[in-house]
């Protein structure tokens, strides 16, 4: 057992540095209610590693006085065992949380995962996570860490209004979301790893052309999502974008002033130590 810790410095000129431990895509799979072995999918190194890496990461954060920034898919699906896991092992952690698509999932692939489904399912997961899963923020040492749900590939006008209200507070912003924003390089990396292009927010239509209709509909950005991406890309107060979802490590340039950091699932043993200076 050995955690693989990526190190990232974000230089924005603050007086007292902040250390975050970015953990994402833990995919806890307790119970397997439909008798499918989802556990094997995430125990990639050895049996039990997905949970052990997570515990090791939490311990590392605690020992080094870091805030855990978790960008979603903590659980793989809804089950009593998974909710109990969050309550038992995560509730007392000093964390900031952005929701992932699996955090709304009563069981993978068993429902049409659309807006209505998410807002029905959010009632079940919300009591187990202390942050607001739609939008939240916390100011630490003069840096505003904002989390926003984009787990079904969409960002709403309401979220962007809330983000603008956070920017108006005048602090530099670190934005954390589950699904990364589209960049050409990241999309090509997704293709190399997964065999399809996008699974990113704000992907251009040509990237989605080979998808079946359901997936194309799911991932074709609506107007609000395009506006949101445009705003995020051009707002100088937003200093970094921290994301997960695609299950590999990647850094991409969103604009001249904005970089996006994507971290592999913690089930693989990867976490990212972020020092904001």
Closest distance to Fe ion from the beta carbon of 110 (Å): 16
What token pair was written down for 151? 């787990």
- The alpha carbon dihedral of 128, 99, 94, 248 has a sign of positive
- Residue with Cβ nearer Fe ion (159 or 266): 266
Q: Which residues of 195-213 are buried (b: 16+ CB within 10 A; e: fewer)?
A: eebbbbbbbbeebbeebee
How many C-beta atoms surround the C-beta of residue 119 within 10 A? 11
Closest distance to Fe ion from the beta carbon of 54 (Å): 13
What token pair was written down for 108? 């993978």
Closest CA to 99 of 129, 127, 123, 124: 129
- Residue with Cβ nearer Fe ion (220 or 266): 266
- Residue with Cβ nearer Fe ion (144 or 219): 219
Closest distance to Fe ion from the beta carbon of 75 (Å): 10
Closest distance to Fe ion from the beta carbon of 73 (Å): 4
φ/ψ of residue 34, rounded to 5: -100, 20
Strands 259-262 and 250-253 turn out to be antiparallel
- Residue with Cβ nearer Fe ion (239 or 247): 247
- Residue with Cβ nearer Fe ion (248 or 255): 248
Residues that bind Fe ion (CB under 5 A): 25, 73, 100-101, 245
Closest distance to Fe ion from the beta carbon of 237 (Å): 27
Query: Contact, 156 vs 224, CB < 8 A?
Result: yes
- Residue with Cβ nearer Fe ion (30 or 239): 30
Q: HSE-up of 5 (CA within 13 Å, CB side)? A: 17
Closest distance to Fe ion from the beta carbon of 101 (Å): 4
Q: What is the residue-wise DSSP string for 45-92?
A: SSTTHHHHHHHHHHHHHHHTT-EEEE-S-SBSS--HHHHHHHHHHTTT
């Amino acid at each position: 057992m050995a955690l693989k810790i990526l190190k990232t410095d974000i230089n924005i000129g603050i007086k007292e540095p902040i250390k975050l431990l970015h953990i994402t895509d833990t995919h806890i799979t307790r119970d397997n209610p439909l008798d499918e072995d989802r556990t094997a999918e995430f125990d990639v190194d050895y049996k039990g590693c997905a949970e052990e890496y997570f515990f090791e990461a939490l311990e590392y954060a605690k020992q080094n006085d870091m805030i855990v920034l978790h960008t979603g898919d903590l659980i793989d699906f809804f089950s009593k065992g998974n909710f109990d896991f969050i309550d038992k092992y995560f509730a007392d952690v000093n964390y900031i949380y952005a929701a992932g698509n699996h955090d709304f999932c009563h069981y993978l692939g068993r429902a049409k995962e659309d807006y209505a489904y998410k807002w029905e399912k959010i009632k079940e997961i919300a009591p187990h996570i202390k942050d607001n899963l739609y939008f939240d923020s916390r100011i630490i040492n003069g840096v505003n860490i904002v989390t926003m749900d984009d787990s079904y590939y969409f960002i709403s006008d309401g979220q962007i209004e809330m983000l603008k209200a956070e920017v108006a507070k005048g602090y530099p912003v670190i934005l954390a979301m589950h699904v990364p924003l589209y960049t050409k390089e990241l999309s090509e990396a997704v293709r190399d790893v997964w065999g399809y292009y996008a699974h990113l927010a704000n992907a251009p239509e040509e990237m989605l052309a080979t998808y079946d209709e359901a997936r194309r509909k799911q991932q074709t950005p609506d107007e609000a999502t395009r506006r949101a991406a445009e705003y995020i890309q051009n707002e100088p107060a937003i200093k970094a974008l921290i994301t997960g979802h695609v299950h590999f490590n990647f850094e991409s340039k969103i604009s001249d002033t904005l970089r996006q950091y994507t971290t592999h699932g913690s089930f693989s043993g990867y976490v990212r130590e972020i020092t904001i200076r």
